A and B are shown apart, each in its own frame.
Chain A
Amino acid sequence: MNRFAALILCAVAALVAGAGIAPAMTIEKIVSPAGIEAWLVREKAIPLVTLNYAFHGGATQDETDKAGTAHLAADLLDEGAGDLDSKAFHERLENHAIELGFQVGRDYFHGSLRSLNEHRDEAFELLRLALTNPRFDADTVERVRGQELASLQRDVTNPNDLASRRWWQTAFPDHPYGRESKGTLETMPRITTDDLRDYVRRVFARNELKISIVGDVDAKTAGALIDRAFAGLPAKNNLKPVADATPTGLGRRIVINVDVPQAVVNFGGQGIARHDPEFMAAYIVNHILGGGSFSSRLYREVREKRGLAYGVSDSLVWFRRAAVVIGGTATRADRTADALAVIEHEVKRMADAGPTPDELAAAKSFLKGSYALTLDTSSKIAAQLTQIQIDNLGIDYIQRRGALIDAVTIEDAKRVARRLYGGGMLVTVAGRPKGLTSSATTE
């Protein structure tokens, strides 16, 4: 927190979620004695082990009036399990510097573990307890709920949260994707211990479980560790179905009044499914428009040329049942309209004409070359392998990715640009933007 205040980062470094030169690593598919599959990368240079895993069933599994259930459950998994109360559980973790992480997305529950090699048995034992036998003691639940409520209360005047919540609510009304995983001030108090137990029982199961391990560990040991943590889970999950959805409200602009010096803007529209044949073309085109490097069109036009904002970018976001492209910026009140006009102009220009061949070549080169940078730590490799499994891309995806990028032609790029950016955008603005008001009609 405050310790970071003194350090100022210039801008957003390039974030890459995909591509390129194949790093020198071997991914091994292993099956544990109990029959659980996992991907393993052996890395002997550093004496640690990193685990990353995902269960199908995230915040979509919450009841609408109890949004935040999965999120609260994740918060509580390391707050007591089996015979260990919260204090004892944390002491066991801390005695060996073991890290367990739990996080809820819309579709998936994500977990991670990191341990020094010498303490890995203890680490996987604590993970087993957390997943199979969480306590949810009443006093602990109330303490953690209190923290969640305090955080939600703080969000009430936070322009980033206001703009983002409204964007998702408007894009996906009456659908779980429209809700924030962390719930609301109204729903958080309604969640009972039974709800938490019900979530864990329905979601933590061996089918649809994706596991990745990176570290100084062989296949046999990895199999034993996996069984230790996961073999005791039910064979099958029991999920509520989630309906397909497409974002609505495209063409609308919504202004949320909050007294801040800088207005926060979210913009976006229909995205593209991960398994869509045009996904890679879309990924490249989006990188060119606003994919977070210092060379994107939005960065150049909004920041470099006009000084309207510190940051501006957009991303493809894909779920199991929907996909969007969503971006954001933050800009002073008297220039918000200008910044938005520039963004809308650039989006339209990309939809109408697509990228240039030079831009396409540069983006391909970047996306291929930078992939290795996304795979340079054990934690990053493990998380990426889990995502590849979730997206069902195949164990050879890292090798194939470069060719998939190369195969995208300028015609593909132009076609997908029209498809991606030609459908209109939903815009939310939180702040006091001069001359901008909410509109229910297409611009």
Chain B
Amino acid sequence: MLAKTNLTLIALVGALTSSSLAAEQAGPEVADFTLANGLELVVIPDHRAPVITHMIWYKVGAADETPGKSGLAHFLEHLMFKGTAKNPAGKFSQVVARIGGQENAFTSQDYTGYFQRVPSEQLKTVMEFEADRMTGLQLTDEVVLPERNVILEEQNQRVGNNPGARLTEQVDAALYLNHPYGKPVIGWRHEMEQLSRDDAIGFYRRFYAPNNAVVVIAGDIDPAQARALAEGTYGKIARHGSMAPRLRAQEPPPVAVRSLTLADPRVEMPTLQRAYLVPSFSAAKRGESEALEVLAHILGNGSNSRLYRALVIDQQLAVVANAWYDASELDMSKFGVHGSPRPGVTLPQLETEMDAVIAQVIDKGVTEEELERAKTRLIADAVYTQDNQASMARWYGTALTTGASVNDVRRWPDRIRAVTADQVRDAAREWLDKRRSVTGYLIKDVSPQAEKRS
């Protein structure tokens, strides 16, 4: 009855990445402005309830960290709650709480976001606070050092205590040979332990500015009113004079089939994770990313997907089998497959059959029926997303900080509708080449040292 709240947030993210937005004919009229200082404002009207979701998205994430400072973007996200000259630590959160609002923040490789969900009439208040902390953050070691322990505990909770997450880190690190996406967003512990107040302030001064931010407001407000409020708050902050373009070191063409094995004494169920280096929406040629979305759905989403039917139902080799694709990255992204063998089946056996399923799609393509089902689902997701203003705000925010435009989001259902079976087969042929991939095995560590420890 009482759900853990972070699940809510994760579910919400799921709605975004897996699908996307409003069917054009039914979606809300989204307004898009740019203020004189470069801040972009997106307004998504939703008048069903007297509430507002206010989000600010900075176009900076873990992939923008200086080498050796992994975890810094996320650390700064935490420190942004530590107060300004005008509003001492805790005041913003207290005000949000008092008006019955919710707040949180999140960091990815490409963006850092902060949001409040408040009664509509409180929009101006939260915009004032958010504008204040865009440039007014003040940090002392007294607040920075305990917070560093918090992120170390967060690393333990998300990764240290979770063998599957440890494997994901290793696969990512092996997949990206040159691009910073190979570093975990949370950071490597040995670097996190050294992050300082000066690191955080330096990063903040470099990246937090109106001309590096997108404000997304979804809810019970009209666009002109939102714009006036934005002018009166964010509009007063000076543009950053030297905002560098987001040029990260890019990947060379991948040429080697890579595999790795992580042994952990706590593994009770072996698993296989594979990631292929594939284009994100921003990095793709026209139509390619949409074909990858459809391909991921047909290959591995749900119990009628190719992988599930072949491996779990027909051959009974696996208990779990699925596939996914993340379109929302600025640079080269990932297409993943994942599976867990049934007891008595080895990971190499499972991998062989998984390869056979993928080879068949590459060879023969997909059926019209599969194509239609996948499109129906993906396009329906866009309508379902309209029911959730926070999901809508996240969809636009993610898009606009990873190289897409408001129009790209708006036309997403049309672009999905246009995908052909040939495009799906071609996408599989081009991108599901094993030389583009890393396959990770997660197995139980039964070495004597491991037994001694456990």
Contact = CB atoms under 8 A, between A and B. Distances in A.
Dominant SS among interface residues on chain A: mixed
B1 interface: yes
Nearest to A390: B1
Contact of B157 (A21, A146, A330): A330
Interface of B: 1-6, 8-10, 13-14, 17-18, 26, 46-51, 74, 77-78, 81, 90, 93-94, 96-109, 117-119, 145-154, 156-158, 160-161, 165, 168-169, 172, 181, 185-186, 265-269, 273, 275, 302-304, 309, 312-313, 316, 319-320, 322, 324, 326, 334, 336, 338, 340, 342, 372-373, 376-377, 379-381, 383-384, 386-390, 453-454
Interface stretch (A9-17, A175-183, A199-207): A9-17
B156 A2 contact: no
8 contacts: A1-B322, A14-B97, A46-B383, A146-B319, A260-B160, A330-B153, A362-B97, A387-B1
A7 B11 CA distance: 12
Given A1-B338, A294-B93, A316-B2, A47 B26 contact: yes
A367 B100 CA distance: 6
A362 B100 contact: no
List the 6 closest A-B pairs by CB distance, nearest first. Answer: A369-B100, A307-B149, A97-B380, A307-B146, A262-B156, A370-B100
A331 to B, nearest CB: 6
A377 B387 contact: yes
A318 interface: yes
Contacts of B102: 13-14, 16, 370, 373
Contacts of A309: 150, 153
Given A86-B303, A95-B373, A366-B100, A295 B387 contact: no
A303 B100 contact: no
Given A2-B324, A294-B93, A307-B145, A376 B388 contact: yes
A375 B102 CA distance: 13
B93 A295 contact: yes
A373 B386 contact: no
B376 A96 contact: yes
A7 B147 contact: no
A307 B5 contact: no
Nearest to A21: B119
A310 B157 contact: yes
A8 B75 CA distance: 11
Contacts of A15: 2-3, 5, 8
Contacts of A96: 376
A331 B47 CA distance: 42
A406 interface: no
Interface in A42-65: 43, 45-48, 50
Interface in A1-32: 1-17, 20-21, 23-25
B304 A143 contact: no
A261 interface: yes
A310 B152 CA distance: 8
Given A2-B273, A307-B148, A371-B100, A8 B185 contact: yes
Contacts of B185: 6-8
Interface in A348-406: 362, 365-373, 375-379, 387
B103 A13 contact: yes
A375 B49 contact: yes
A367 B379 CA distance: 36
A146 B273 CA distance: 20
B150 A48 contact: no
Nearest to A371: B100
Interface stretch (A153-161, A190-198, A230-238): A153-161
A13 B104 contact: yes
A157 B266 contact: yes
Contacts, number: 270
A158 B163 CA distance: 10
A331 B5 CA distance: 19
A218 interface: no
A95 B168 CA distance: 33
A135 interface: no
A308 B153 contact: yes
Contact of B106 (A9, A20, A155, A330): A9
A138 to B, nearest CB: 13
Contacts of A66: none
Contacts of B97: 14, 293-295, 362, 365-366
A372 B51 contact: yes
A411 to B, nearest CB: 22
Contacts of A261: 156, 160-161
A311 interface: yes
A90 interface: yes
Contacts of B6: 9, 12-13, 311
B49 A23 contact: yes
Contacts of A23: 49-50
A8 B98 contact: no
A4 B49 contact: no
A307 B147 contact: yes
A33 B156 CA distance: 56
B106 A10 contact: yes
B50 A372 contact: yes
Given A17-B1, A46-B386, A308-B149, 4 more contacts: A3-B326, A94-B304, A294-B103, A304-B90
B165 A5 contact: yes
A259 interface: yes
Nearest to B156: A262
